[in-house]
Structure 1
């Protein structure tokens, strides 16, 4: 009784929340968020991402300039009160174009990541759940696809479909799901013998219900890490392809397109290359650092 009184003395006169009254018990995701908040690098990266994503939405609106309006009289202007990032070689407002480009690059990365995640989860879940000859055949398909050079497949796809947004999404997603499928397969093969899975099968649940309702949700932590690392890879890949003339091309706009245009005038007007390259570097670095923080937060071995 004395120990109980002593343990409650430090809480006397204080307002306690339910987690404290329950012995400081918190859910898994609350604990993940708490650990992310304690990581200064992850917090700064998240803040930088929020700023960039917000500006990619409202930046073209607050600039007051159109994306493609040409004004030769104001070509190659330095940053000013009217044009915050200056203008390009055709007199177009660079601030507006940079944030339009950032928006396009992020949209490409998010759509490709979504395709990779959905296709990879379904394919890997089917392989692991059924096993046997189904797993063998589907695994051979993955090995056949991954045996071909990814860059070559991307170039051939762009040559056939053109340089539009849809062609770029298809070219970047056509092989990317294979790694996710292998990852999910390995994780689900460990989970399929769990008691709750066997109970669902015994109660007559269909294979697809077991995969979608029980197996894939329990790989969500692993999927979060895959998503966090895939998004910056797609952003950088899109920029590289567009810079080399394989990806998006004018009049389409992305960070890679702007860097390619800025590279042509960098000797005399380096500012046109600086801003899109800086936004690209900050965007990719912030996603990578946030992914590192998320990996540490999701690691059960580091939980206190």
Structure 2
């Protein structure tokens, strides 16, 4: 029986120079997440809708060329037409321009409140988890005390003390929202703290602030992005609800909540004054929520198929 040697075997379908080559390109975690996100048509449509919304809140109030602040009683309560696309309100102001100006204010409030929530919550949770011990216990008790008080009650008290202004609304929205972020960050860092690279950084004398920004936060970006994508629509809806109830912003300030509150008073005779602000609010909130679902599927390794 002839002896079998490697030289008597031939690999069919490959060239000799290509045998040891890796045909599949190496991609990073974020490239893989983007590839998965692109396969989600609902998430991509949501991104396109949000891009259009951002462009419109920037240029929308200027498209028609009408002053959305100055009153023109002679043109009040006009129905939608070629001149006034969304009609006019009870003081003769162009509703199309006012809606986009209100959406701009609502989105800015949501973005600033989300940034405050992420920054303060991340740093607070990182300090708890990194130092541990009595520091963790004391800071955790602070969170429990804040969460024990109804957030709506805190919001009402802050708005009563500081007044119905943009600053007081941001304080009211952010003062309790960071607690959930701090809890999530604390849990994640409790796991990352046992990693070899964190231990090596501590042995080399790295300061806690460097470990937090260099090692902890980059490994939590996926969770923080998901947190932001769910917090933004929540803040938009909360601002609209507070302004609708008269707790948040009030006229002459402009936001989607203020416009919905004003449209509610005249909905029996002029329903379009309520319909258009509500429609835009629903579109923005739904787009953010659907994008958040797509980001969750793309960024969470446990949900990968």
Give TM-score scaled by structure 2 length: 0.93
Q: Distance in 1 between matches of 2:67 and 2:22?
A: 57
Residue 5 (1) aligns with residue 14 (2): yes
Residue 116 (1) aligns with residue 123 (2): no
Listed as ranges, the matches of 1:151-300 within 5 Å are: 151-300=152-301
Q: CA offset at residue 208 of structure 1? A: 1.2
Tell me which residue corresponds to 1:58.
Answer: 59
Q: CA offset at residue 151 of structure 1? A: 0.2
Q: Residue 6 and residue 263 in structure 1: after superposition, are their counterparts in 2 closer, same or farther (change >3 A)?
A: farther
Q: CA offset at residue 303 of structure 1? A: 3.7
Q: CA offset at residue 42 of structure 1? A: 0.5
Q: Distance in 2 between matches of 1:6 and 1:281?
A: 58
Give per-residue Cα distances to partners, 1:221-260, cap 9 Å, x unaligned.
1101100000000000000000000000011000000000
Tell me which residue corresponds to 1:82.
Answer: 83
Q: Is the 8 A contact 2:114 2:232 kept in 1?
A: yes
Q: CA offset at residue 6 of structure 1? A: 7.8
Q: Distance in 1 between matches of 2:51 and 2:22?
A: 35
Moved over 3 A (4+): 6-9
Q: Distance in 1 between matches of 2:303 and 2:177?
A: 30
Listed as ranges, the matches of 1:29-48 within 5 Å are: 29-48=30-49
Give per-residue Cα distances to partners, 1:79-131, cap 9 Å, x unaligned.
12221111001000000000000000000000000000000000000000000
Give per-residue Cα distances to partners, 1:138-191, cap 9 Å, x unaligned.
000100011001000000000000001001000111111011000000000000
Residue 68 (1) aligns with residue 80 (2): no
Q: Is the 8 A contact 2:236 2:285 kept in 1?
A: yes
Give TM-score scaled by structure 1 length: 0.93
Q: Is the 8 A contact 2:109 2:170 kept in 1?
A: yes
Segments of 5+ residues of structure 2 without an aligned counterpart are 1-9
Q: Residue 293 and residue 6 in structure 1: after superposition, are their counterparts in 2 closer, same or farther (change >3 A)?
A: farther
Q: CA offset at residue 201 of structure 1? A: 0.5
What RMSD over aligned residues (CA atoms) do the two structures have, in Å? Answer: 1.7
Tell me which residue corresponds to 1:17.
Answer: none
Q: Is the 8 A contact 2:56 2:100 kept in 1?
A: yes
Q: CA offset at residue 4 of structure 1? A: 5.2
Tell me which residue corresponds to 1:136.
Answer: 137
Q: Residue 3 and residue 116 in structure 1: after superposition, are their counterparts in 2 closer, same or farther (change >3 A)?
A: farther
Q: Distance in 2 between matches of 1:274 and 1:6?
A: 67
Q: CA offset at residue 61 of structure 1? A: 1.4
Tell me which residue corresponds to 2:4.
Answer: none
Segments of 5+ residues of structure 1 without an aligned counterpart are 10-19
The number of equivalent residue pairs is 294
Q: Distance in 1 between matches of 2:176 and 2:15?
A: 62
Give per-residue Cα distances to partners, 1:8-51, cap 9 Å, x unaligned.
99xxxxxxxxxx96513211111111111111111111111111
Q: Distance in 2 between matches of 1:60 and 1:124?
A: 40
Q: Distance in 1 between matches of 2:23 and 2:220?
A: 28
Q: Distance in 1 between matches of 2:16 and 2:217?
A: 42
Q: CA offset at residue 302 of structure 1? A: 3.9
Pair member with larger Rg: 2
